[in-house]
Every structure is written in structure tokens, then in C-alpha cells.
């Protein structure tokens, strides 16, 4: 059976998250339903990462196995037709080797988080950014973020529901910058790692906003990390500013 890799973009608001759930609308479930319209029978697809309810994606990657030998661009087009009107798009498709796996072949995941700083309510970016009415101290957040980069026990910054066998992970990047966004000043957070714990990114962001708001000092992030207890974490950020931006593999499967 030929295997196909799919690069998937979606707006997370209408979904309970990536993972299929009984009697609820998920991104995985909608794509599998679209696949069933192309080839009868149950379909199970695997993704590079399971995003939570309300989290968006620019660069999610999944794979599926089909009976028919599809030309990749025709498969993408057919899926996009059957995915309407859901805010899900297959932006790239490639045939891959049978042992290639969207999750286990991945070398790195990258996330972006958008935070809008303005008082008037967002209109065009509603549901796509975390909006805060006051200015944040970006330099202080950058100082606090430095404590999180590297190889650490991230018990403080993972959900109590996290199923990972170990809280020890390596965070390769957590960069923060302020930009002039289309709706006003934005703070953009960029994070890279081979893998993340459940709620790890949103836990980081909520704690760093405590620093930017002056509630925490930058060194309080280090203290929270070293506490290794969930109670030391700041408030978890809302999901709607978070995007799965990219997944990296040994070779660029979508380059063609």
C-alpha cells in the first residue's frame, strides 16, 4: 500500500483538538472522513503531534496509507474538496517510503505563539491571538526564557494529564521578539525541540507573561523550573495563540 505524507494547516477553533474522539469533531476525524470518500473503509492517520482544542497549525504533518496509487497533487486536491467547509487544508502532499512515519521519523517540532498587546478587542485576529490590554516587558521575558533553554526536568511545566514517560526534555530554542503586527504590537514566541510534553508550551508562555507583566522576576522562572512541581507553574496560556508551525525530517519530503 502506498504511503502519503500530508502537510496540514488548520484553524483549531471548531475542533476538540487533533485526536479523534467519539461523537466530537476533531481534525484527525475530519481528514479520515474525507479519505473514506476517496477510498471506502476505515482510515487511521498518524500525526507528528497532537494539538489541543483551539490550537492551530501551519505545518502539521500526518501520513496515511491508501490502496490506490495517487498522484500527490491530485490526492491533496481531492481531500481539500471533501474537507469543505471545515477550516482544514492539505497544503502539500508527497509519496513516502512505507516505513516513514509522521511522528517517529520527525527530528524536531517548531511552535509559534502570537500575543497581541492592545485595548480594543481584536476583530480580524479574534481567536488567532492571545490578547492582553497592557504592554509587556519583552527584555524581562527574554531573560526569564533563558532559564528554560537546554536539557531539564520540566515537571513544573507539564500537565498533570501528561502521558510522557519522562519529564526530561531538551528545549533547543525559546526566542521572543516584539513586532508590528497587522492589528497592533505583537509579541512572537518561537520554540523548537525534538518533542514537547503535554501543555509544556502553554505553561511556558503563561509563566513568561507573568514576568512580562511584572508579577514575576526573571529568576522566578528558574525557581519554578527547579521546584519540579506543577503548583510552581504560572497560569497556563489560552490555546488560541498557539500554532504548530513546522516539523523537520531528515529529508525535506515536500521539496518537490
Helix, strand counts (H, E) of the chain: 5, 10
Q: Where are the alpha helices (DSSP H) in 146-254?
A: 200-212, 218-227
Report yes or no: 247 and 108 within 8 Å, Cβ to Cβ: yes
Q: How far apart are CA 33 and CA 136, in angstroms?
A: 43
Q: How far apart are CA 62 and CA 245, in angstroms?
A: 14
- What distance, in Å, lies between the first and last C-alpha atoms of the chain? 21
Catalytic residue among 52, 99, 172, 252: 52
Can 219 be counted among the known catalytic residues? no
Backbone region of residue 12 per phi and psi (left: phi > 0; alpha: psi in -120 to 50; beta: other values): alpha
Q: Could you give phi then psi for residue 239, rounded to 5 degrees?
A: -75, -25
Instruction: Single out the residue of 216, 246, 237, 210 nearest to residue 102, CA to CA.
Output: 246
Beta strand pairing call for 46-47 and 56-65:
antiparallel
Name residue 173's beta-bridge partners.
192
**Which positions ≥6 away from 196 have C-beta within 8 Å?**
49, 109, 111, 169
Q: Which residues are catalytic?
A: 52
Amino acid at each position: 500500500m502506498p504511503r502519503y505524507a500530508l502537510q496540514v494547516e488548520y484553524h483549531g477553533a471548531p475542533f476538540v483538538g487533533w485526536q479523534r474522539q467519539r461523537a466530537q469533531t476533531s481534525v484527525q476525524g475530519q481528514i479520515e472522513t474525507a479519505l473514506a470518500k476517496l477510498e471506502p473503509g476505515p482510515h487511521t492517520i498518524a500525526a507528528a503531534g497532537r494539538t489541543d482544542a483551539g490550537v492551530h497549525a501551519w505545518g502539521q504533518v500526518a501520513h496515511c496509507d491508501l490502496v490506490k496509487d495517487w498522484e500527490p497533487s491530485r490526492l491533496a486536491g481531492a481531500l481539500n474538496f471533501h474537507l469543505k467547509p471545515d477550516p482544514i487544508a492539505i497544503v502539500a502532499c508527497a509519496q513516502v517510503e512505507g516505513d516513514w512515519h509522521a511522528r517517529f521519523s520527525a527530528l524536531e517540532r517548531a511552535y509559534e505563539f502570537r500575543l497581541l498587546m492592545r485595548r480594543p478587542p481584536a476583530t480580524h485576529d479574534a481567536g488567532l491571538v492571545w490578547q492582553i490590554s497592557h504592554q509587556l516587558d519583552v527584555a524581562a521575558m527574554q531573560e526569564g526564557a533563558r532559564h528554560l533553554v537546554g536539557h531539564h526536568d520540566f515537571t513544573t511545566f507539564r500537565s498533570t494529564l501528561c502521558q510522557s514517560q519522562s519529564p526530561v526534555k531538551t528545549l533547543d530554542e525559546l526566542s521572543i521578539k516584539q513586532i508590528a503586527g497587522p492589528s497592533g504590537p505583537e509579541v512572537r514566541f518561537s520554540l523548537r525541540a525534538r518533542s514537547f510534553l503535554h501543555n509544556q508550551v502553554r505553561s511556558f508562555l503563561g509563566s513568561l507573561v507573568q514576568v512580562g507583566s511584572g508579577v514575576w522576576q526573571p529568576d522566578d522562572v528558574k525557581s519554578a523550573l527547579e521546584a519540579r512541581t506543577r503548583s510552581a507553574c504560572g497560569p497556563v496560556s489560552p490555546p488560541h495563540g498557539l500554532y504548530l508551525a513546522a516539523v523537520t525530517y531528515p529529508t525535506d519530503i515536500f521539496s518537490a
